[in-house]
Structures are given as C-alpha cells and as structure tokens.
Amino acid sequence: MSNAVETKNKGGFLAGSANYLDERVGVAGILKEFGRKIFPDHWSFMLGEVALYSFLVILLSGTFLTFFFDPSMAETHYHGVYAPLKGMPMSVAYESTLDISFEVRGGLLMRQVHHWSALLFVAAAGLHMLRVFFTGAFRKPREINWVVGFMLFILSMAGGFTGYSLPDDLLSGNGLRIIDGMIKGLPVIGTATSSLLFGGEFPGDEVIQRLYSLHIMIVPALILVFIAIHLFMVVIHKHTHYSGGGKKDTNVVGYPLMPVYVAKAGGFFFIVFGVIMLTSALITINPVWNYGGYDPSPVSAGTQPDWYIGFLDGALRLTPSNLEIVIGENTWMLNILLPMVVGVGLLGVVAVYPFIEGWVTGDKREHHVLDRPRNAPTRTAIGAAGVVFYAVLWAGASTDLIATNFKVSLNHVLTTMQILLIIGPVIAYYVTKRLCLSLQRKDREIVLHGHESGRIVRLPHGEYIEVHEQADQYEIWKLTDFKEYSPTLARPNAKGIITIRARIRSAMSKWFFEDRVSPVGTTELEATKKHGELH
C-alpha cells in the first residue's frame, strides 16, 4: 500500500482505492508518518491492549443488549419460560433481562460476554497500572498520561457499577441500597443527593432509567474520549522500552507498526475476544434468575458487589463499631465516612504519586528506559504495601465466604483482617525493600563475578572452587544501566532560610534513597577482572 501513490492509475482495486483516499483525505501522508512507527515488544506492554480490546468487546456486546433491554421500573408480572419465576411481580427491567437470557437466542451468551468483558476490562486496566507503576513508566514526560489512565480506571469502575444495577434483581438492588445508605451518610448533602439520585425515596421508580442513561451514554463517551487522549499521548511520547543493548532514552527499539505490529496487535484483539467468548460459553456469570426481582425485604447470603467495588465494600465491613456520632443536631456517620476516606484516599495517592516522586528526585530529564522494579527499591516497596492494603480491603468484602469455605469464625476473619490492614502493608514494605536490595546485590555479583555454573573444580594446590561463567556484555549492560539517586540535605535558600518544604523534601529523599546499591562502573569491573586474573 505504501507505493500506492506511485502506482496511480495502474494496478488493481487496492491501488485505485488508495489513490482515491489519498486525493481526498491525504492518506499517504498519514501512512508515511505512522506506518513504520516502532513499537517495542514485551509481554507486559500488552496489558493495556487487553483493557482496550475488552472495552471494544463491551461496546459490541452492549450494543446488542440495548436492542432488547428495557430499563423501565414499571411493574409487570412474569410470563416467560423460567418456571421458578412464573407469575411473579417484577419490574420491566428485570423481565427484559430474563427475556434476553431465556428467549433471545444468543442473548444469554451476549449478556455473559458483556459482563465477563466488563470484569476483565477493569482487571486488565488495574494490572496495566501496576506494570506502569512498578517499571516507573509514569516518570517525566508521562505524568499527565498516568492521570488520564487513572481517570480511565475510575470510569471503568463507574461503567461497571451502573451496569451491575440495571437488571433490577435482588442482588444488585441490595447493592444499590448500600450505595443509598452511603450517600445518606454524607454530611450536609447526603439526604438531598440520595433524593436526586432515586427521584425521591429509595427505591422509587426512576433510578434504573437514570443509571441506564449514564451507563450507555455519558460513561462510555467519557471512556472513549479518555482512551483517545491516552493513545494520542502514547503516539507523542512513543512507547517506553526495557533496558537492553542499544536501548536508550533517546531512541525506541522494536518492530515497525506495519506489518509486524498490525498482525500481532490485530491478532491479539481476536485472541482476547476469544478468551472472553470461551469463558462466556462455558461459565455462568450473574445468574439473575436465581436472585429474583428486587424486593426491599429479602436478601441473599453472600451479597457482594462485583470485584472492583469489593475494596470499598471491604472497607465498610472492616470499620469498627460505634463510629456514628451526633454533634449538636447533626449526625456524623463516621462508620461510612471513614471507609470512604480510606478508599478515596488510596485512589488519591495513586493519582498523584508521579508528582510526589518527581518532586523528591527533582529529576527533570525525560525517561524512556524503564526501571527494573528492584532498581527502585523504595518505590517498589511502596507499591507492594499499596497492593497489600488494597488486597486486604478487597478480601474484606468476602469475609463471609472465607469463613464458610475455610471453616473459621466470621468474627475472627473480620478481626484478623482489621489487624492485617494495618500491619500487612508495613510487613510488605520492609520485605519488598529488603528483597529489592538483595536482588540488586545479586546483580552486582553477576556483573563482577559471573554466574555460578555449578561445576566444581579442584585446583592443583588442592583448593576447590566453583567455576563462574562471565556474563556477556548485553547482560552486563542490562544489569548496570540504571539511575542511582543520592539523598540530600535540607539546604538554605537564597535568603539563608531552610524552608519547611526543603525539610520535607530532604526527609523524603532520605526515606527514598538512603538504602541503595550503586551500579557497577567500568573502574570496579576492570579492577575485579584484574584481581580474578591474578588469582
């Protein structure tokens, strides 16, 4: 296709249409600019693609579902084929969900595709964020794109939650009721906000339609806009790459977009879609017919939100008793506010982390070669602590299932989780930091003395030694190509005053960089080699 312009007026249909497009939209220029763009190849670079492709699958399956779904909360009586619900009063929304499941061929498959891909979307986005965090890909110039990606993560949860509620079944209805209780617990605006969402009292007959408007219009539109910004910035910055021979902050090493990446990434879309379809064909998700239509009186054991809301639900469960207090005429629902602050606070730290680290290091250079997690021990340890904190909150949402499946007391599970929530991250922090430093020391060993070969040799004078095999130059480069930072003292500014800002910055740089292992330099490497030869 790249030679389409030259073959004007000759050649086949392809050349003809290429010419047509170029003369109208200048497609040749676009191809010239982007057709041979280089993308580095690494498995961990595909996680963001998984999220993107899941979103495409969500759009496709969701569009199919909109043709059959009716979000009305008007009351009706079920006349479909599912025997255990025949004649039951229910909302039109729930009935149409049942009809999609039982009377539209492929409808159940599409419902399962939609729900599985939604869960996968948030999970893949989360895993992608972890990859970006632990490799330091958020550093200058990508801080803003980190925030855009963070917004996408929040939007994906919003899309998921608004969709979870639409079938108006008992499970999601109780979920909405919890949300209503949380909203009512907000100081000052709680009651009014709840009324605005539900159109009056809970549950009312409006909320499903309102969530539907959000779910199929505003949330996906925002996700699309943010995806466009996210990808546009990837094009501007070009992709990062891992340290390796010839890979620098000033270049990008990999394969050209056309044809290799088009084939790989295009093929990968079909594979991700295939994994979703395979799961949907074989595994039930959200069997709404089991739960019955929403009724405010019953509830099922094991009432949980979808996984991505789990950390908030867990935070609610792990909150201690008796935190509701009354000051004057006003009720402060601290048992709701505290978990909200914890959940939102955790997300807030995630959102601003690149700016914190950038300020501490003061490093204003562009970074395009990724860090190996061990080479940024404090960051990796902070990340591990965050992951453990999130994981305990998340596991907190399934305390009842943990209790029944592992035959332990529900109360003990909850108390253990409360303790783990505090000490788990601390332990994770120290263990991870020590692990990173040890791995760095091992890297130094390999650079200086090579790999242990496992071969034991007896020297002429009787000494036994293990033969070490020298690392090759590419490996040495990979193990030594990282940035080392040194902690700084708080220094007086031009007026001779040590500001609080400077003190905080100094304390943080000490925290970040006090324990560190320097990369091996040529001087040291040469010295060791000489020493080895003398030996």
Partner 1 sequence: MPNTKKKFSRRSPFAAALVLIAGLVVSGGTYVAASAAVTNVSPKTEVDQALIETGKKLFLANCASCHGKNAEGAQGGPSLIGVGSASVDFQVATGRMPGQASGPQMEVKPVQFKQEDIDALAAYVASLAPGPESPTEEYLARKGDAAKGGELFRINCAMCHNAVGAGGALTEGKYAPPLKNTEAKHVYQAMVTGPQNMPVFSNSNLSVEAKTDIITYLQYVQENPSVGGEELGNLGPVVEGLWVWLGMLGLIVLITIWLGAKSN
Partner 2 sequence: MADNSKDLANVEPTAEHEYPTGLAVVAPDKIADPGIEPHRVRMTDKSVKHEKAAERQVAGLFLLSILGSAFAVWAYFAFPFDGETAGSLRYNTIFLGLGITLGLFGIGIGAVHWAKTLMPDSEVSEERHITRGSEEVRAAAVEIIRLADQESGFSRRKLIRRTMYGALALFPIPAVVMFSDLGPDLKDALRHTMWAKGGLRLARDPDGTAIKAADVQIGSVFHVIPEGLVDLEPPHLLNEKAKAAVLLVRVDPSVITEKQRAWGYEGIVAYSKICTHVGCPVALYEQHTHHLLCPCHQSTFDLADDCKVIFGPASRPLPQLKIEVDAEGYLVAPGDFAEPVGPGFWERKA
Please report the sign of the dihedral spanned by the C-alpha atoms of residue 38, residue 41, residue 47, residue 51.
positive
290 binds partner 1 (CB under 8 A): yes
Task: Using CB under 8 A, pick the residue from 2, 17, 284, 499 that binds partner 1.
Answer: 284
Instruction: Work out how close the CB of 220 gets to partner 2 at its nearest, in angstroms, rounded to a whole number.
Output: 21
Measured CA to CA, the distance from residue 56 to residue 280 in angstroms comes to 16
Tokens read off for 397:
């949402």
Instruction: Work out how close the CB of 336 gets to partner 2 at its nearest, in angstroms, rounded to a whole number.
Output: 7
Instruction: Work out how close the CB of 33 gets to partner 2 at its nearest, in angstroms, rounded to a whole number.
Output: 12
Residues 56-85 that bind partner 1 (CB under 8 A): 72, 74-77, 83-85
Task: Using CB under 8 A, pick the residue from 243, 279, 418, 488 that binds partner 1.
Answer: 279
Q: What amino acid occupies position 403?
A: A
Rg value, the chain, Cα: 29
388 binds partner 1 (CB under 8 A): no
Identify the H or E element spanning 452: strand 451-458
444 binds partner 1 (CB under 8 A): no
Q: What amino acid occupies position 511?
A: W
Q: Which is nearer to partner 1, 236 or 271 (CB)?
A: 271
Judged by CB under 8 A, the stretch of 215-223, 287-295, 372-380, 474-482 that binds partner 1 is 287-295
Angle (CA) 29-32-37 rounded to 5° is 135
Closest among 169, 177, 174, 167 to 211, alpha carbons compared: 167
SS3 477: helix
Task: Using CB under 8 A, pick the residue from 4, 27, 31, 47 that binds partner 1.
Answer: 47
Task: Using CB under 8 A, pick the residue from 286, 440, 480, 509 that binds partner 1.
Answer: 286
Q: Which is nearer to partner 2, 68 or 485 (CB)?
A: 485
Give the helix ranges, DSSP H, for 35-106: 47-66, 92-102
Residues 113-152 that bind partner 1 (CB under 8 A): 116, 119-120, 123-124, 127
Q: Which of partner 1, partner 2, none lies near 23, with the C-beta cut-off 5 to 8 A by kind?
A: none
Q: Which of partner 2, partner 1, none lies near 491, with the C-beta cut-off 5 to 8 A by kind?
A: partner 2
Backbone angles phi, psi at 35, to 5 degrees: -60, -30
Contact 237, 142 (CB under 8 A): yes
402: Cβ–Cβ under 8 A, 6 or more apart, which residues? Answer: 395, 408, 413
Q: Which of partner 1, partner 2, none lies near 133, with the C-beta cut-off 5 to 8 A by kind?
A: none
162 binds partner 1 (CB under 8 A): no
Instruction: Work out how close the CB of 176 gets to partner 2 at its nearest, in angstroms, rounded to a whole number.
Output: 10
88 binds partner 1 (CB under 8 A): yes
Identify the H or E element spanning 167: none
Instruction: Work out how close the CB of 268 gets to partner 1 at its nearest, in angstroms, rounded to a whole number.
Output: 6
* Adjacent-strand bridge partners of 77: 89
Q: What amino acid occupies position 113?
A: V
Instruction: Work out how close the CB of 2 gets to partner 2 at its nearest, in angstroms, rounded to a whole number.
Output: 15
Measured CA to CA, the distance from residue 314 to residue 397 in angstroms comes to 4
Residues 300-339 that bind partner 1 (CB under 8 A): 300-308, 310
Q: Which is nearer to partner 1, 149 or 190 (CB)?
A: 149
DSSP 323: -
Packing angle, helices 310-318 and 377-396, rounded to 10: 70
Q: Which of partner 2, partner 1, none lies near 177, with the C-beta cut-off 5 to 8 A by kind?
A: partner 2
Measured CA to CA, the distance from residue 376 to residue 20 in angstroms comes to 52
248 binds partner 1 (CB under 8 A): no
Backbone angles phi, psi at 518, to 5 degrees: -80, 150
Measured CA to CA, the distance from residue 209 to residue 73 in angstroms comes to 8
211 binds partner 1 (CB under 8 A): no
Q: Which of partner 2, partner 1, none lies near 307, with the C-beta cut-off 5 to 8 A by kind?
A: partner 1
DSSP 241: B
Instruction: Work out how close the CB of 30 gets to partner 2 at its nearest, in angstroms, rounded to a whole number.
Output: 17
Instruction: Work out how close the CB of 187 gets to partner 1 at its nearest, in angstroms, rounded to a whole number.
Output: 30
- In the numeric block, the tokens 């080479």 are attached to 375
Q: Which of partner 2, partner 1, none lies near 292, with the C-beta cut-off 5 to 8 A by kind?
A: partner 1
